[in-house]
């Protein structure tokens, strides 16, 4: 255990030397940061010995809990062999085995695996592959990607170009390549969204996509989306059947479908891949976050024989995919990913998970009794609770009120680690959370929203 004097030193050094992601550092400097020292199942433990439920699975990555004996063992076994060797010109055992396994467990037709290190790079790889594919097919005029409003595909320049979150991306607009952004109407209060409005919304979206395609005949590379849930955009759920119909539309119009499963993959939605809910095989599938169970950075872009084969040719034809990251196919990360998938299979986790999901959904409905909860959106083990100043008149809290941030701060004092998306409280615990741990997380979240939003009526 770290003693308190050490923790003071660490806090000082954090403030002196660290620049945190997505963080206004002036606000950070004014606060006492929580410094995590260890993890145990769904709990995170800080340097002062405080325990917190990890309500966001350490930024949506953790699957089976922290410090898992089997994952630790897999990592240690691989470490005694080798930590890293390159896939550029050579191969390694865990990278080969994981590629075989990923092809086995992803939708039929995805037969090739290209590794990288994170979600953004998995998306960059997909975009470049799709773009180059059309060049090899003799259609170099195809240069445009279709993407959605509120989409999030990562923070590198290519991934930002297909992103649709103004506050993240607007600063860099002049750096980004041209795309076609399809605007979708925001989801309204789900309590009043019946099948009818769901259908209407789906039709509107599909029509918008169809129109974009017809306005740019022969110029579209493909369409990229987050299947079922737009995560960072605010945990927005897409209408039932949308993915399926979009996939059919893409197929009929001869454009590529790129599915970004970085957040939804590895069981988050209740199936291994969100695509499975609507029986869709995309042309390209991106996975990262949970791939190595939240242990190590690892990503993969999977694709079809059709795309892979288009890159085959004589060496001097220059059809090679000139892309690769130094730590591509890292053996440690691949070994943990293999064990991650192996635990899913051994414990029949996706089956077990249905009970947890049913409980999660049922208990989330209780949040509607809180006067400032405007919407509760849930899919599998991912939920967003949207706070509003006045849900009846659809009035949001202003950015400056920091309501989401204040709720998460209160939750921290009650023993849960959360992180909001503006005024939407995200709940995304490790999949292996027990029912009683889940109840604690929900109780803390409920109390925190109730306390923070009380006496702040519109």
Ligand X SMILES: *Cc1c(COP(=O)(O)O)cnc(C)c1O
Which residues contribute to the site for ligand X (CB under 6 A)? 118-120, 123, 152-154, 226, 231-232, 260, 262-263, 288-289
**Beta pairing, strands 395-396 & 51-54:** unpaired
> Please, what is the minimum distance in Å from the beta carbon of residue 127 to ligand X?
12
Name the residue nearer to ligand X (CB basis): 222 or 231: 231
Rank residues 152 and 367 by Cβ distance to ligand X and give the closer one: 152
State the minimum distance, in angstroms, from the CB of residue 156 to ligand X: 7
- 330 or 448: CB nearest ligand X: 330
Least distance between ligand X and beta carbon 384 (Å): 13
Within 10 Å of residue 170's Cβ, how many Cβ atoms? Answer: 9
Other CB atoms within a 10 A radius of the CB of residue 31 amount to 10
Please identify, using beta-carbon distances, which residue of 149 and 226 lies nearer to ligand X: 226
Q: What angle do CA 280, 274, 214 make, to 5 degrees?
A: 50
CB of 277 or CB of 389, closer to ligand X: 277
Q: Give least dist CB 283 to ligand X, A.
A: 17
DSSP 83: S
Minimum distance of ligand X from residue 230's CB (angstroms): 8
Q: Are strands 420-421 and 416-417 parallel, antiparallel or unpaired?
A: unpaired
* Residues ≥6 apart with Cβ < 8 Å to 269: 228, 229, 277, 379, 380, 381, 382
Nearest to ligand X of 123, 338 (CB atom)? 123
Whichever of 110 and 232 has its CB closer to ligand X, that residue is: 232
Apex 255 CA angle, 141 and 281, nearest 5: 150
Shortest distance, position 119 Cβ to ligand X, whole Å: 2
Q: How far is the CB of 37 from ligand X (least distance, A)?
A: 24
Cβ nearer to ligand X, comparing 301 with 453: 301
Q: Which residue has the tokens 């550092």?
A: 25
Contacts of 114 (CB under 8 A, 6+ apart): 125, 129, 300, 301, 302, 303, 321
Residue with the CB atom nearest ligand X in the bound state = 119
Place of tokens 């009683």: 436
Instruction: Assign 146 to helix, strand or coil.
Output: strand
Q: How far apart are CA 425 and CA 449, in angstroms?
A: 9
- For residue 357 the two structure tokens come to 């999901």
357-360 LR contacts (CB < 8 Å, sep 24+): 357/270, 357/381, 359/435, 359/438, 360/427, 360/438, 360/442
Smallest gap from Cβ 364 to ligand X, in A, equals 21
């Amino acid at each position: 255990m770290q003693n308190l004097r050490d923790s003071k030193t660490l806090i000082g050094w954090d403030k002196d030397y660290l620049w945190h992601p997505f963080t206004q550092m002036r606000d950070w400097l004014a606060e006492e940061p929580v410094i995590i020292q260890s993890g145990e199942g769904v709990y995170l433990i800080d340097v002062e010995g405080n325990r917190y439920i990890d309500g966001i699975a350490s930024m949506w990555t953790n699957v089976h809990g922290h410090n898992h004996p089997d994952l630790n063992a897999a990592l240690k076994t691989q470490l005694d062999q080798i930590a890293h060797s390159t896939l550029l010109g050579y191969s390694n055992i865990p990278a080969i085995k994981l590629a075989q396994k990923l092809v086995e467990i992803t939708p039929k037709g995805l037969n090739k695996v290209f590794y990288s290190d994170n979600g953004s790079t998995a998306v960059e790889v997909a975009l470049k592959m799709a773009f180059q594919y059309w060049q090899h097919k003799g259609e170099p005029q195809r240069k445009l990607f279709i993407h959605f409003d509120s989409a999030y595909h990562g923070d590198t320049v290519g991934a930002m170009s297909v992103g649709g979150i103004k506050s993240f991306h607007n600063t860099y607009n002049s750096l980004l390549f041209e795309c076609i952004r399809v605007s979708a109407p925001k989801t309204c209060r789900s309590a009043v969204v019946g099948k009818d409005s769901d259908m209407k919304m789906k039709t509107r979206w599909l029509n918008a996509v169809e129109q974009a395609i017809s306005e740019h005949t022969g110029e579209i590379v493909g369409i990229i989306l987050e299947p079922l849930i737009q995560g960072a955009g605010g945990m927005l759920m897409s209408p039932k059947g949308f993915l399926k119909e979009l996939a059919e539309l893409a197929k009929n119009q001869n454009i590529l479908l790129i599915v970004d499963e970085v957040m939804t993959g590895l069981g988050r939605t209740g199936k291994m891949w969100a695509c499975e809910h609507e029986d869709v095989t995309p042309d390209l599938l991106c996975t990262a976050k949970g791939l190595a169970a939240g242990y190590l950075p690892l990503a993969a872009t999977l694709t079809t024989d059709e795309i892979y084969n288009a890159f085959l040719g004589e060496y001097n034809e220059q059809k090679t995919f000139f892309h690769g990251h130094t730590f591509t196919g890292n053996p440690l990360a691949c070994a943990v990913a293999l064990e991650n998938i192996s635990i899913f299979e051994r414990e029949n986790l996706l089956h077990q998970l249905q009970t947890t999901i049913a409980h999660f959904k049922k208990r989330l409905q209780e949040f509607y009794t809180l006067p400032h909860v405007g919407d509760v959106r849930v899919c599998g083990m991912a939920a967003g609770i949207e706070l509003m100043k006045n849900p009846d008149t659809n009035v949001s809290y202003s950015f400056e009120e920091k309501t989401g941030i204040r709720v998460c701060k209160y939750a921290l004092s009650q023993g849960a680690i959360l992180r909001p998306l503006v005024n939407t409280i995200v709940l995304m615990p490790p999949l292996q959370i027990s029912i009683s741990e889940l109840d604690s997380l929900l109780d803390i979240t409920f109390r925190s929203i109730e306390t923070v939003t009380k006496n702040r009526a519109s």
